Structure 1
Amino acid sequence: MTTSELLLETADPGQPNATGYRVTLAADAIDVIAAQQLRYDVFTRECGAVTPGPDGLDVDRFDDLCDHLIVRRRNAEIYPRGEVVATYRLLPPHAHDTDPRSNALYSHTEFDLSALERLLDSTVEAGRSCVAAEHRGAAPISLLWGGIARYMQLTGYRYLMGCASVGLADGGGNAAAFADLVLDKHLAPADLRCRPHLEFVTDGIPRPRRAVVPPLLRGYLRLGAVVCGPPAFDNAFGTADFLVLLDMQRLDPRYARFFLGDSWANAQRGTTA
């Protein structure tokens, strides 16, 4: 953990914190383990993914480099610190000195990141996002976005990047439909496109009438993120993974306040919250 001291209690006083949830960065190993347990419950027990780490935990070699954003539900009777119900890990460039920088990123295991190397000194990689099934409402997602915004403000980095997953339980039709949507509306400029090591090929897959976009990925797109080329096939998780890049200096103002809160919108106008 590298910047835990930067994010306290809530990401933004304007975020819906009165619902019984709060967002923080993991403060110690106990918090990180709670996040890894949640990831295991969602990825392995619920979705059937093959995850690394000991039984009951989703752990990989990137965790020790990351700051772990966690949303807690206040439930002191059972969980003295609050129950961890959502998590997203953030890997900032100051956490490693790898050359080239892409070699230290999870996304590098799925994509050739050569086209983005020039941006990586200013890029935070986000990943391993999940929300407990019984808490998949607006408040935890809003708090995750508020926490990301606060993190980006305080660390001063410009870009947010990550692999956003679309499930394949339907045979891949929804992922293929989303890939079509990317080509139509959300594809990155040619100089920012990255090839997957193992492409999820959409040719010949029947599409539904309309793609159902996962909430976190939908948030990225509404803020103005671009998708850096065709999706990768993640065999361990059974997903099509899309490489998403968000420039925090070019957010869509229609959605910045909704997703990221008042303090971000005010800071973008050059005022204080």
Structure 2
Amino acid sequence: MQHTIVQAETRASAGRLVLSMASTPEELREVQRLRYKVFIESMGLNSLASDDGLDSDEFDEFCDHLIVRESDSLKVVGTYRLLNPTRARKLGRLYSEGEFDLGRLNNLRGRMLEAGRACIHPDYRGGSVIMLLWSGLAEYMRRQQCDYLIGCASISLADGGHNAVAVYQQLREKHMAPPEYRVTPHLPFPYQKLDPAPAVQVPALLKGYMRSGAWICGDPAWDPDFESADLFLLMPLANLDARYARHYNVGEPALASAA
């Protein structure tokens, strides 16, 4: 069975946007090419460069992949990777477990959806694409009967890590999870040894998570491959702001299945 998300009444300055779910190997490669462009080429991560121009790993085949296309050109302009509890059990682990000890969350595993690799084309970062992705994400969680969204949010270390320190210090004041949801990084980012940047620049995706009720679950991890400090986030589905769906004047269901 192939799965298609039909999204109506949605327009951006570049044209109409349509939300769908990857259902073929070629669509997955389109997603991986966009991720490569954004994560590898634009960030100058030469150590992760590949001959095929794809950002891929062993998690991709176990995940569902939300896609936003510009309807006139059919160009993929946004994507989100989703790992549901059933697929996570089959795989045997979550992506986040490569960076954090999630032992305190074991009782939530059957109700947690892991989202990652959020990626938007540089020409489409006005907010419409991410809001459309989040609309699909919320409905996917309801369909999978997941009550919690988890994932890692990255902060670039291009400035030597000073902004990452400032972001963490600012967000932990109001958005730290209760102790029973705390996680521990395997490779901690040494934020205590760095001065914070004088002006805090919170990444747009991370800012969106915070506005929608996500918690930071502990100290940041250091990801040397992507040259970032990563925060582990936990967000109850109940906190996902309904304005993301209302913004597009869509009702349920936004996801439709076609054989």
Q: What corresponds to 2:37 in structure 1?
A: 41
Tell me: CA distance 1:123–1:52, structure 2 relative to 1, closer, same or farther (3 Å). Answer: farther
Q: TM-score, normalised by structure 2?
A: 0.88
How many residue pairs match? The answer is 250
Q: What corresponds to 1:244 in structure 2?
A: 233
Q: What corresponds to 1:257 in structure 2?
A: 242
Deviations 1:147-202 (A, max 9, x none): 11121122221111001101111111111011112321111111111110101111
Tell me: CA distance 1:264–1:194, structure 2 relative to 1, closer, same or farther (3 Å). Answer: farther
Q: What corresponds to 1:198 in structure 2?
A: 187
SS at match of 2:65: strand
Verify: 1:83 aligned to 2:75, yes or no: yes
Per the TM alignment, residue 119 of structure 1 is displaced from its structure 2 partner at its CA by 0.6
Tell me: CA distance 1:44–1:132, structure 2 relative to 1, closer, same or farther (3 Å). Answer: same
Q: 1:64 aligns with which of 61, 82, 91?
A: 61
Q: What corresponds to 2:106 in structure 1?
A: 117
Q: What corresponds to 1:55 in structure 2?
A: 52
Per the TM alignment, residue 55 of structure 1 is displaced from its structure 2 partner at its CA by 2.9
Q: Does the Cα contact within 8 Å between 1:149 and 1:264 map onto a contact in 2? A: no
Structure with greater strand percent? 2
Cα distance between partner residues in 2 of 1:230 and 1:265: 38
Q: TM-score, normalised by structure 1?
A: 0.84
SS at match of 1:97: helix
Q: What corresponds to 2:257 in structure 1?
A: none
Per the TM alignment, residue 207 of structure 1 is displaced from its structure 2 partner at its CA by 1.7
Q: What corresponds to 1:270 in structure 2?
A: none
Structure 1 unaligned blocks of 5 or more = 77-81, 268-273
The amino acid that maps onto 2:66 is L
Q: Does the Cα contact within 8 Å between 1:161 and 1:243 map onto a contact in 2? A: yes
Tell me: CA distance 1:130–1:15, structure 2 relative to 1, closer, same or farther (3 Å). Answer: same
Deviations 1:4-56 (A, max 9, x none): 62x5222xx57557941111111211111000001111111111234486530
Cα distance between partner residues in 1 of 2:246 and 2:48: 33
The amino acid that maps onto 1:181 is Q
SS at match of 1:241: strand
Deviations 1:34-84 (A, max 9, x none): 0000111111111123448653001101000100011111234xxxxx100
The higher-RCO structure (CA 8 Å, 6+ apart) is: 2
Q: What corresponds to 1:159 in structure 2?
A: 148
Structure 2 unaligned blocks of 5 or more = 253-259
Which aligned pairs between 1:122-271 and structure 2 lie closer than 5 A?
A: 122-249=111-238, 251=239, 256-261=241-246
Per the TM alignment, residue 265 of structure 1 is displaced from its structure 2 partner at its CA by 11
The amino acid that maps onto 1:58 is D
What percent identity do the matched residue pairs reach? 38
Q: What corresponds to 1:9 in structure 2?
A: 6
Cα distance between partner residues in 1 of 2:184 and 2:177: 12
Q: 2:17 aligns with which of 7, 18, 21?
A: 21
Deviations 1:129-155 (A, max 9, x none): 111111111211111111111211222
Moved over 6 A (4+): 262-267
Q: Does the Cα contact within 8 Å between 1:93 and 1:122 map onto a contact in 2? A: yes
Cα distance between partner residues in 2 of 1:155 and 1:71: 20
SS at match of 2:139: helix
